[in-house]
A and B are shown apart, each in its own frame.
Chain A
Amino acid sequence: MPFIPHTDQDVSEMLGLIGAPSIEALFDEIPAALRVASLDEVPEALNEMEVMQLMQARARQDGRPLCFIGAGAYEHHIPAAVWSTISRGEFYSAYTPYQAEASQGTLQSIYEYQSMMASLTGMEVCNASLYDGATALAEAVLMAVRANRKSSSARILLPASLHPHYRAVALTTAGNQGVKFELLPYERGQGHTARETLDAFAGQDITALVIQQPNFFGVFEDVDALTNFAHAQGALVIAVVNPTSLALLKPPGAWGDKGANIVVGDGQPLGCPLSSGGPYFGFMSTRMEHVRQMPGRLVGRTVDLDGRPGFTLTLQAREQHIRRAKATSNICTNQGLLMLAGTVYMALLGAEGLERVAALSMQRTEQLAHVLTGIPGVRRLFGRAGFHEIVLGLERPAAPVLAHLSKRGIEGGLDLADYYPELGPALLVCATETKTLADIDCYGRELREVLHAARAA
């Protein structure tokens, strides 16, 4: 029996002690009419070799295309030490560290994570992870509504240049609590949110402004001006950031005169494989003044009975297992193992390593832009500086172009037609440090051929 160790003798001794004639008899409190008749739709068992053969065949079917898509999930080199460490059973198969004395390893690693991430974002406190970047933003919006006592409107300003999936998740999540969202347009030709767009809201009750840096298009926002404007209106600032970029960019804690109030994002670039969208981890950091409104777990350093230092979950009166209906969130299970991957990754890279990853990714994207815009019919849509993503305009719909590239083993970017139809045919492309100049040239060659063939057809 797979993963069940019982021998026949064990079973008969156990039933003997219980005083039951059969295992079946243990289910005698369940009404007979409810019992399962058959599970025919579930296939017969495979052994480990057979299931691995199946999975390897399916993996081969998908292959390993050369991928130039970013859009919130980024291919970075993951040091071998990251997964060899976090796959250790003592981390991998442990539960949430409720029994502190038996979980010091997990607890201390979370404390280290909180310290690193707070410093990276320029904040004073960071929680022990949320699900992903989009849900972290949704939680930040709900947190802002609780934390901004000067505002009673529950109105949140979202830039159109924010990741469209983040916007969608914020709506799904916070809409049920009556939060109202207003969309801020981006500057055509530039791709950023102009400070002047906010003038329409001057003097109004706004709970919070969301700023993504770099934004969905990869373009830099005027974070200082936007932050100062929001604070002058009594609104909080929620920063959505890429952690890799923070090695080079001003941390949200230093935006404007007072800094952002809540910082969220997806920790995926820090050691998490792309893995078709998860598991990743959402991060959230803030200032101590807001800590009691923060969702998620927190680890604190304290002392034990002998006065020696140790770590424990703390400020739990915010959480569902204590406060139930009055908790800051319903979150319980988070993304602990991926947060640990991020911790080990940051420890390995250090500030200089992370800076180099960010810098080389920017450079590779510039090189990609140079090669691709040298192809007739391909141009850059936004003139403004940015991080490691750019938007390219095409002369014909992107979908068939991408389909042809896919057949040639290249995932050429994200088609923006569904997200931003007003841009016309457009692609969001990304290159990180993992792309060589040969990879970039290869993409250039294939795109040139595909577009040429399309024109000829």
Chain B
Amino acid sequence: MSSAINLGMREKLIFEYSRPGRGARAQWPAASTPAVPATLRRQRRPQLPEVSELDVVRHYTRLSQLNFSIDTHFYPLGSCTMKYNPKACNAAALLPEFAGRHPLASVAAGQGFLACLYELQEMLKAVTGMRAVALSPLAGAHGEFAGVAMMRAYHRSRGQLLRNEIIVPQAAHGTNPATASMCGCVAREVAVGPDGDVDLDTLRAAVGPATAGIMLTNPSTLGVFERRIEEVARIVHAAGGLLYYDGANLNAILGKVRPGDMAFDAIHMNLHKTFSTPHGGGGPGAGAVGVSARLQPFLPVPIVAREGGTEEAAGSQYRWLTERDLPQSIGRLASFAGNAGVLLRAYVYMRMLGRDGMRRVGEYATLNANYLAKLLTQIGYEAAYPQRRASHEFIITLRRQAQELGVTAMDVAKRLLDLGFHAPTTYFPQLVSECLLIEPTETESKQTLDAFAAAMAQILREAAQEPELLRRAPHTLPVRRLDDVRAAREPDLIYKSDAR
């Protein structure tokens, strides 16, 4: 595999291309002079660049070339499920009728769109084993918020006003405790045992009359399946709490095990992970939520319902359910009905995979992770949980290399960039020192995994022979390691031209 593509390439700021009087005039509508009251009128124009259309296209195309992406590089970022995003999903979502449809347009002019959303809800119910699904949360953390808010609403509806503790395992995603706070709850951590499973004695001691619920990822963030999940569910339910499933790792078990069958009461699904909608350099996502029967009345609105006829052909009608239909709903979470364009992309992906494809996702994601884990341990890397099966991802630890050679997980990650691979997730979960969390996903071939392992083998040799090469990596990218301390101490967050 070639090294990085953009050696030394740099690109000016768009503002530095600006020349007074220049502009992309084909984009300007006719001039007009509306009557804005004088006291409300803007006095000084905003500092937007004055550039030609070619300037803009060339500039942002060049910027794009400074990025690693799934389309250009293997991107084994643990916990993020960076799998191929099929192009058809984007093309379908951008069909002019879908792209141009107003969120408040009549349902009569949206039956085709609503049919897609309804069927998406049904498919998500099927693969998760939940009773009902709502699509409006806009990302994973937003789905978490919906889930915990529903759990609180459920307890309140039963007069249990004091249940405000959310239990999270030590190794949980940061969004879990942050969500608990956002919902006015208190996060309470429980320990994880040396085998990677939740310590049941600590859990038994943690639950009680204040327990609102527990938030779990399964497989956990340690890359292993929580084997005693049924016992965890019994303990939490017996204490009057509910179980929340963080769907970040759903890709591992898609088609193999369902959160509903593991007795979870609420879940969110990251459609931008498991169902392959793009990450877009930070977003958008979609964080659909699913619930068990007891939480169904509290789902966020709106939700798509089908009425009058059970078959598509029988003249069925789709409509939005609102708070009138669900008076106990936690309410509205977004300006409109959610990231509809993302939902359409996920729908198209699921239709192309079909029933058998769902199962293959979990199977081949797991095959790739176990294969790569084996390759890396054969090379000489240390697995954090060698006695366990990997799920769709696994952790290696560089604690030995850090101690003996002074080479850290971050050094390995940066050197990988030089060798043409995006780095795995670094230093998460914090429970394992000097760790790399590696998730290959099912869309990568054996040959790509072999090439990655070869690069990792080279790095291990370099660690022993020329550790300085690693400590100062990357060497071939547009920039070298950045001064994060200076970035935070002397924040330079917006461009200021001299003229200003």
Contact = CB atoms under 8 A, between A and B. Distances in A.
Contact of A411 (B35, B94, B102, B480): B102
Nearest to B34: A362
Given A29-B389, A324-B177, A349 B48 contact: yes
Given A45-B351, A85-B64, A274-B102, A101 B48 contact: no
A65 interface: yes
Contacts of B388: 29
Interface stretch (A48-56, A227-235, A442-450): A48-56
B34 A277 contact: no
A197 to B, nearest CB: 19
Given A2-B352, A220-B37, A331-B139, A23 B366 contact: yes
Contact of B69 (A2, A28, A61, A90): A90
Contacts of B92: 51-52, 55
Interface stretch (B201-209, B368-376, B455-463): B368-376
A172 B333 contact: yes
A64 B51 CA distance: 33
B175 interface: yes
B132 interface: no
A310 B482 contact: yes
Interface stretch (B74-82, B236-244, B289-297, B400-408): B74-82
A21 interface: no
A59 B11 CA distance: 40
Contacts of A346: 48
B134 interface: no
A249 B38 CA distance: 10
A244 B262 CA distance: 49
A119 to B, nearest CB: 4
B355 A44 contact: yes
Contacts of B88: 48, 51-52
A24 B179 CA distance: 35
B64 A350 contact: no
A356 B29 contact: yes
B34 A363 contact: yes
B31 interface: yes
Given A29-B389, A336-B282, A43 B351 contact: yes
Interface in A80-101: 81, 83-97, 99-101
Nearest to B57: A81
Nearest to B24: A348
Contact of A115 (B15, B258, B279, B281): B15
Given A132-B138, A356-B28, A108 B339 contact: no
Interface in B247-283: 253, 255-258, 261-262, 270, 272, 276, 278-283
Interface string A336-380: 111110001011111111111101101100100000000000000
Contacts of B375: 17
Given A26-B366, A30-B225, A250-B40, A112 B495 contact: yes
Contacts of A116: 46-48
Interface string A12-44: 011101111001101111110111100111111
Interface in B1-50: 4, 10-11, 13-15, 23-37, 39-43, 45-50
Contact of A333 (B284, B374, B446): B284
Contacts of A118: 493-494
A152 B41 CA distance: 35
A290 to B, nearest CB: 13
B138 A64 contact: no
A454 interface: no
Contacts of B109: 62-63, 65, 406, 411
A219 to B, nearest CB: 11
Interface stretch (A183-191, A201-209, A313-321): A313-321
A300 B94 contact: no
A298 B351 contact: no
A254 B116 CA distance: 45
B335 interface: yes
B414 A85 contact: no
B417 A92 contact: no
A45 B36 contact: no
Q: Quick one: which of B42, B180, B444 has the most chain A CB within 10 A?
A: B42
B470 interface: no
Nearest to A67: B102
B332 A165 contact: yes
Q: Quick one: which of B35, B183, B354 has the most chain A CB within 10 A?
A: B354
B103 A276 contact: yes
Given A116-B46, A275-B101, A302-B492, A89 B24 contact: no
Interface in B122-162: 122-123, 125-127, 129, 138-142, 144-145, 149, 152
Given A42-B358, A119-B46, A63 B61 contact: no
Nearest to B13: A112
Q: Quick one: which of B29, B68, B256, B375 has the most chain A CB within 10 A?
A: B29
A363 B32 contact: yes
Interface string A285-306: 0001001000001111111111
Q: Quick one: which of A306, A323, A352 has the most chain B CB within 10 A?
A: A352
A421 interface: no
A166 B340 CA distance: 18
A302 B351 contact: no
Q: Quick one: which of B10, B80, B224, B487 has the most chain A CB within 10 A?
A: B487
A58 B488 contact: no
A135 to B, nearest CB: 6
B48 A102 contact: no
B364 interface: yes
Contacts of A249: 36, 40-42
A229 to B, nearest CB: 16
A375 B296 CA distance: 47
Interface in A257-283: 266, 273-281
Contacts of A414: 104
A457 interface: no
B357 A10 contact: no
A308 B477 CA distance: 12
Nearest to B332: A168
A238 B175 CA distance: 26
Contacts of A403: 106, 108
Contacts of B487: 300-302, 312, 314
Interface string B101-119: 1111110111111011000
Contacts of B149: 172, 176
B15 A112 contact: yes
Contacts of A176: 149, 152, 182-184
B161 to A, nearest CB: 13
Given A128-B282, A172-B300, A173-B145, 9 more contacts: A14-B368, A29-B227, A30-B253, A39-B127, A81-B57, A278-B336, A312-B484, A337-B278, A337-B284
18 contacts: A41-B125, A42-B127, A44-B356, A65-B105, A73-B104, A96-B279, A109-B63, A277-B103, A278-B284, A279-B138, A302-B492, A310-B479, A336-B281, A336-B284, A337-B282, A338-B284, A347-B49, A385-B36
- Which 10 residue pairs across A and B have the least CB separation, nearest first? A45-B354, A277-B336, A89-B71, A337-B280, A336-B282, A58-B112, A277-B103, A279-B284, A310-B479, A61-B112
